[in-house]
Structure 1
Amino acid sequence: MSDTPGVADRRDAVCVIGAGASGLTAIKNLREQGFAVDCYERETSVGGAWNWRHDRSPISSSTHLISSRPLTEFPDFPMPDDWPDYPHHSQVLSYLERYAEHFGLGEHVWFGTEVVSAVPVGDGRWDVTTRSPGGGAERTQRYAAVVVANGHNWSPRMPEIEGEFRGRFLHASAYKNPAILRGRRVLVIGGGNTGCDIAVEAAQQAAEVWHSTRRGYWYAPKYVLGRPADQVNAVMLRLRLPLWLRQWLYKRSVATSAGDLTRYGLPEPDHRPYETHPIVNSQLVYYLGHGRITAVPDVARFDDAAVELTDGRRVEPDLVIAATGYRPQFEFLAPELLDLTEDGRPDLHLHAFARRHPTLAVVGLLQADSPALFPLAHWQSVAVARWLRLRTADPVRAAAVQQTESRRPLEQWSRARVMPTPRHWFEVSSTDYLKVLDELLKRLEPA
């Protein structure tokens, strides 16, 4: 037991927060390094964001992957070959459930338990306080390390719009079924993948649809040359084609497929391809071309039943859906532990390692050009697990690795040529990121 009354000492065990995709792969890789693991999940089952029964899930009934199956699966647990290129969210959930069962991860998860706080108590150890989500008695246990995998797509970022709106106004996180769109006049705010998907669904269900975006984007089709677009892009990345050439090829593919998108009322992009997170949608241009979606600029203000746009036009929707993204939230950690900026952006090495607390790490706080999150979270958690093992086995060598890594320039692993918006806080070039992770893993190998 701990010297602190009421605190149970779990000695060398590691605490993992969250049992979504990132949390599950963290449990697996920590266990493979010999660590005891206690994972705390506030919901009653695994899956995180991909389990749409969970309160915080942003998934709607029609959600599919925007990354293709081979680039989404974990490297040590393939998805079934007979699944479609872009699986439905229910298939992704079943995949995560089978992953957890295959590796025996469920026995290490405390379901229906949320983390209230994680506090450093010296010598790299942490006191983690938990309780059931509805309240009740709290329990504190002491751990050798904490790995955070609570996701970053669950706390809605609501737009600040002047005025009052008489109709219904909701964030995309609350959009679950296209039935809400039927027969309505719908305004969708936001040009990201979610906003485009909802606009397309509205085009099939609603009486009238407006799609409001602040800037122009580059819209990638889901298929290029008969293959999923991300697989074609992955080939270009493996071939190490220079960025300017990939940008030129991207522009050529858009020009030959959709042509000049400004003729549909979309603004011209104010950036080059790959300088924003990819918008993958094959149907938006189709419905714009058929007049089922009207492209409009940003919203200036609400005015009772009307919405005034920045170009002076007024539209009168009865439903406004804000697909304006999410903000990362770490309610159980003091802001200085992750070096959070005033606007809530954490400063982490490789978007994973806390700079001043070597036994605190975050897994899954990433967005990449290719592949998808699951394989990147896998290799992230492998690095975290090996780092914690080296710190236990050879603290002198671990300190030397940490000193070397702390001097690594940000440009080696974080994409510099992206729009400076919160949406791109965690954007990485997968090729560069995996290369740096591989170098780190080699440094963490036993001597």
Structure 2
Amino acid sequence: MAPLRVAIVGAGPAGLVACKTFLEARDGQFPFEPVVFEAEDDVGGTFRYRSYEGATLVSSKQLTCFSDFRLPFEHADHLTLEEYCAYLRAYVSHFSFWDRIKFGHRVVQISRHPDGGHVVEYIVRDASGEWGTEHQTMRVAYVAMCSGLHVVPSVPAIPGIEHVGASSSTSDAPRTFHSVDYKRRDQLKGKRVMILGTGETGMDIAYESAKAGAKEVVLCSRAGFLSFPKALNDFSVFGFKFVSEHPVPIDSLITNLGESAYVHRWIAERHLRWFISDFVIQRLMWFLTGTMAGCNQWVGELEPERLGRAYVFLNKSHKAMPYINRPYRKRAAILDYMSRYMDPPEDMPPKTNFAVDLAPFPTHFLPSGQAVFPLIKRRKDSIRMASRDVRPDIVIFATGYTQKFDVFRPEDNYPSAGEADVRNVVRSGDETVAFLGHVRPGVGAIPPIAEMQAYFWITMLKGQLKLPLPPPHYHLLVKETARIKYGVDHSTYIATLARDIGASPGLMETWWNYGTHVLLCYCFGAAFVPFYRLFGPFVSPMAPQVIKTEIWDTITRRGVLGNLIMGLIPMMFYLTLSGIALGIERMLQFVRVI
């Protein structure tokens, strides 16, 4: 049988795991031949070419690493970007598919072949670094778009932005630029810095500005954010300090049983688990830190109707919060004694009045270079900044990216990622084109999502999905006018894909085949991909050992109290809720039969 070529666009994590998975899924009926097209000269994508000094992953290695190639225990939970790119190179070497990656090959157009499949046109960079003008072609059966979420910078128009730096004597450096061009602290030293955007990159740059010795740092937020540290640690309750050398990564806290496994469809479609957990977590944060806006977050709070995991992406870049909180944190000493979050010493601001000033987005800049902020009475930062004279030397747009798929020939009616209505992977009736890694989890990581998406797509191509697919209940809840509509709840999305391909473990079969240890890990663990390689079409002999060691370690780190509060009690509550729903459903079915 003729080989089934698969064109994979991009050698970031999604492209690499797709290539490796296609190679392992080859058989006589489906002789897949994946080819990765990468314009750069190394793997890593965004992690390699859009990184900056001091950047680390905010998702844990336990969640981010691929299911069958793990990092040793001695690695820190949260890797630097250099360490993660080294991991990706090691991944390619371990599974021996360097020969499948065409570096210095840029895809310029993808079109439909009249006899089926697709034609990929590409250009090649020569030894001098120049791109050739000759378009070469390759006919393929399938196309996997793995170009990533963070490709085309999004830069909003602000009237008068050209006046930024008008009062500055430093005219040699750019006065406005996107965060994609931020690389080192020395770009910030001694300057008055304004950062537009309070996502994780904006928070990182605010912290780096403070540490670099910027004269002034103003961080502008459109509508607030939800801040949590990437690892839970550093709490004091009635004088007893809860500090661990190995704190629990926050993305490993949501348990499977009752949360993503054994959930009644009525509970899932109404997102009751999300709303209930938000209610509980907000009150717990108030007790521990004095505020429900986030973990020790005293300003920049979201509107009440958007506060929670059901609506927003959790901001796990927490290092700048001591600087941001300084003008706003006010709490009685007795309450601080009862409970308090202790900022890590290395992140504490100097013993001066220096702070990172939070502000709304400026409406415009005056010819003098002064920023004009709107007065929003519900926002404490807006009231404080309304009378401030802010004249930044530089403005950095940490305003995210837009997805762009202009390599598809327009007349061929190719989908975009937003039109991938089948599990956010493919468009109905157009299953030969997939988008891997083009959703963003509220709490979690994109690489393991891309791995599960690759499993889903291959299972679909082989005609082995468990049909019909149930309705999706994993999308974050956003307004129609929202800029980002590709948000998903990590654990719900991963578990949904696992059920679709027949890889979701049942409790009895897990206990029977793998024993009590693995069963306990599955119940108390988060939605780690190794759980979905115990059964189904992508069984891995490594999965049980990974579960019994690395994943068990994350569970035991919580301690007895942590597993009681964050594991057993929620499990019992959610299982009871689903049990009641099941009982009502069966009763209604019985009445209808009679």
TM-score over 0.5 for the pair = yes
Q: 1:404-419 residue pairs with structure 2 within 5 A?
A: 404-405=468-469, 408-409=470-471, 411-415=472-476, 417-418=477-478
Deviations 1:34-62 (A, max 9, x none): 111221110111111111xxxxx321121
> CA 1:28–1:144 in structure 2 vs 1: closer, same or farther (change >3 Å)?
same
Spell out the pairing of 1:133-144 with structure 2 (5 A cutoff).
134-144=131-141
Letter in 1 for 2:231: Y
Find out whether 1:231 has 2:252 as its counterpart: yes
Match of 1:153 in 2: 150
Aligned to 2:434: 361
Post-superposition shift, 1:328?
0.8
The aligned counterpart of 1:195 is 202
Aligned-pair identity in percent equals 26
Give the match's secondary structure for 2:283: helix
TM-score, length basis structure 2: 0.65
CA distance in 2, matches of 1:445, 1:166: 57
The correspondence for 1:20, drawn from 12, 36, 39, is 12
- Partner of residue 394, structure 1: none
Contact map agreement 1:276 1:424 (CA 8 A) in 2: no
Q: Distance in 1 between matches of 2:8 and 2:490?
A: 25
Report the CA distance shift for 1:292/1:334 in structure 2 as closer, same or farther (over 3 A).
same
Alignment-derived partner of residue 176 in structure 2: 169
Distance in 1 (alpha carbons) for counterparts of 2:442 and 2:66: 17
C-alpha distance in 1 between matches for 2:285 and 2:317: 12
Match in the other structure for 1:378: 451
**Alpha-carbon offset, residue 94 of structure 1:** 0.4
* Aligned residue runs from structure 1 range 25-424, under 5 A: 25-34=17-26, 35-51=32-48, 57-122=49-114, 124-132=116-124, 134-163=131-160, 164-167=162-165, 168-205=175-212, 206-224=214-232, 226-234=247-255, 237=259, 242-260=273-291, 265-270=299-304, 271-274=306-309, 275-290=311-326, 291-304=354-367, 305-311=369-375, 312-313=386-387, 314-334=389-409, 337-340=413-416, 345-388=418-461, 390=462, 404-405=468-469, 408-409=470-471, 411-415=472-476, 417-418=477-478, 424=484
Amino acid at match of 2:216: E
With 238-247 and 184-193 compared, the bigger mean Cα shift is at 238-247
Q: CA deviation at 1:207?
A: 1.1
The answer to whether the Cα contact below 8 Å between 1:276 and 1:419 also exists between their aligned partners in 2 is: no
Name the aligned partner's letter for residue 198 of structure 1: I
User: What is the identity, as a one-letter code, of the residue corresponding to 1:214?
Assistant: R
Query: Tell me, which stretches of 5 or more residues in structure 1 are unaligned?
Result: 1-9, 52-56, 391-396
The alignment of Structure 1 onto Structure 2 pairs a total of residues equal to 416
Q: 8 Å contact 1:45–1:111 — kept in the other structure?
A: yes
> Secondary structure of 2:371's partner?
strand
Amino acid at match of 1:283: K
CA–CA distance in 2 between the matches of 1:436 and 1:265?
Answer: 36
In the alignment, the residues of structure 1 paired with residue 284 and residue 480 of structure 2 have an alpha-carbon distance, to the nearest angstrom, of 26
Distance in 2 of aligned mates of 1:219 and 1:88: 20
CA separation in 1, counterparts of 2:190 and 2:116? Answer: 58
Q: Within 1, Cα distance between the matches of 2:427 and 2:159? A: 38
From the CA coordinates, give the structure whose radius of gyration is larger.
2
Distance change in 2, residues 1:250/1:423 (3 Å)? farther
Distance 1:428 1:21, change over 3 A: same
Query: Is the contact made by 1:148 and 1:363 (CA closer than 8 Å) also made in structure 2?
Result: yes
| Secondary structure, counterpart of 1:102 in structure 2 | helix
Tell me the secondary structure at the aligned position of residue 107 of structure 1. helix
Distance 1:148 1:70, change over 3 A: same
Name the amino acid aligned to 2:7.
C
Structure 1 length-normalised TM: 0.85
Q: Per-residue displacement from partner, 1:231-286 (whole Å, max 9, x unpaired)?
A: 22356945878223311232134324543488955355341211101111332321
Structure 1: how far apart are the matches of 2:53 and 2:103? 24
Distance 1:136 1:126 in 2: 21
- Please give the alpha-carbon distance, in whole angstroms, between the structure 2 residues aligned to 1:250 and 1:284: 22
Unpaired stretches in structure 2, ≥5 consecutive residues: 27-31, 126-130, 166-174, 234-246, 264-271, 327-353, 376-385, 504-535, 539-594
Distance apart, 1:215 and its partner CA: 1.1
**Partner Cα distance (1:45, 1:319) in 2:** 31
- The answer for the alignment partner of 2:338 in structure 1 is none
Tell me: CA distance 1:272–1:25, structure 2 relative to 1, closer, same or farther (3 Å).
Answer: same
Is the contact between residue 275 and residue 308 of structure 2 (CA under 8 Å) also seen in structure 1? no
Answer whether contact 1:12 1:143 (CA < 8 A) is retained. Answer: yes
Point out the structure with the larger strand share.
Answer: 1
SS in 2 for 1:136: coil
